[in-house]
A and B are shown apart, each in its own frame.
Chain A
Amino acid sequence: MSLELIPLAILMFAVTYPSRAAGILTPGLDRLPKVAFDYLQLVGPAVLAALAATSVMIVVGDDDKPSFHVGIEWVAVLVCLALVARRRNLFLGLLSAVAIVAIARATGLSPMPA
């Protein structure tokens, strides 16, 4: 097992930890303007939706160029969304999403990701 990437991991930690700790450790955040709290309340849904959308809609090629992707993953994620919104059951949503993609790929309806 190669150890040459450990310094890289330490450097990656060094740039990741501050972004995780800055908000939690900064004193006086409760004295922000109240509208700032309203803003922060909306951050969670926005970031999580952004993560989901870029994961299923964007593919980065070997040339590092991002491109728009349409595929069975859209259907799977939408089914998961509907199930969680309707039944409040994330496990069922994830199971359904995985099953849809697996079946579509096994039957040749959808190609394997590059």
Chain B
Amino acid sequence: MSVLVFAGAAQFAAVGYVASGLPWPGVILLTALLNARHLLYSAALAPWLRPVRFSRRALMAHVLTDEQFALTLSHYRRINTTDERGYWMAATVGDFVPWVGASIVGAVIGAQIPDPAIFGMDVIFPAAMIGLAVGLITGRRELVAAMVGAGVAVLVALLSSPAIGIVAGGVIGPLIGLAIPAWLAAETAPLGSFESAERFSMPDTHVDTATVSSEPPAAPGARP
């Protein structure tokens, strides 16, 4: 399961659901809901991975996790270009190998390992998520999106389930972030502008349909 699904939260949930006797269709539906957030990650990384061949992107998709997304996006933004080798380094050394390896160790000698909660290990996941989120916050819009996303997620989770809450927070948070007035957001690149889109997507790959016919293309690596 760790190799095929490679999604910690879904795996933990599935084990609990199977143990409680939930029928498989229910487990599969909840897995789909819990992992729906990957669709947002995938869309957000798409502009950066455009230069990579389709077959390799198809493989890269399998190892796209929360941690992988945060590490990759912050790395790409920092170096301002795509780094396929960096993606695979993070995915294999930082994510896949430790996860699958630890799963095997857990399956073999898990009964002899004391409850990890004694050592506070259960707090690593939320602490890592908030730490990785901080790395992606570069302005007030991101900050608002994160705060609203967290608030909405908790509220919706209380009313339905954590899986639905996470997706709701991930969808609504950015919408509220976008609604922040420009003067309050202190943005240097207005929303919906070429500069704004370029700031996010891989530089010089974004198609500016408004200016493509009237302005000469920018030099490679040039920033607006």
Contact = CB atoms under 8 A, between A and B. Distances in A.
B1 A42 contact: no
B192 to A, nearest CB: 4
A114 to B, nearest CB: 10
B119 A102 contact: yes
Interface in B33-52: 35-47, 49-50
Interface of B: 1, 4-7, 9-10, 14, 18, 20, 24, 27-28, 31-32, 35-47, 49-50, 54, 57-58, 60-62, 64, 66, 69-70, 73, 107, 115, 117-137, 141-143, 145-154, 157-158, 160-162, 165-166, 168-170, 172-175, 177-178, 191-194, 196-197, 199-201, 205-207, 209
A73 B127 CA distance: 9
Nearest to B133: A48
A21 B46 CA distance: 10
Given A16-B10, A20-B42, A48-B70, A112 B35 contact: no
B162 A66 contact: yes
- 9 A-B pairs with the lowest CB-CB distances in the bound complex, closest first: A23-B42, A46-B173, A46-B149, A50-B169, A101-B120, A23-B43, A50-B153, A42-B174, A53-B150
A37 B196 contact: yes
> Interface size for chain A: under 10, 10 to 19, 20 to 34, or 35 or more residues?
35 or more
Contacts of B73: 44
A50 B130 contact: no
Interface-central residue, B27, B115, B123, B147, by most chain A CB under 10 Å: B123
A112 B115 contact: yes
A60 B20 CA distance: 13
Contacts of A103: 120
A23 B5 contact: no
Contacts of B142: 41-42, 45
A16 B5 contact: yes
A57 interface: yes
Interface-central residue, A40, A50, A64, A93, by most chain B CB under 10 Å: A50
B83 to A, nearest CB: 15
A9 B4 contact: yes
Contacts of B43: 22-23, 29, 40, 43
Contact of A85 (B118, B134, B172, B201): B134
Contacts of B47: 29-30, 37
A60 to B, nearest CB: 7
Interface string A1-38: 10001101111110111011111111001110111011
Nearest to A93: B131
Given A50-B149, A81-B134, A16 B197 contact: no
Contacts of B169: 46-47, 49-50, 53-54
A66 B147 CA distance: 21
B35 A19 contact: yes
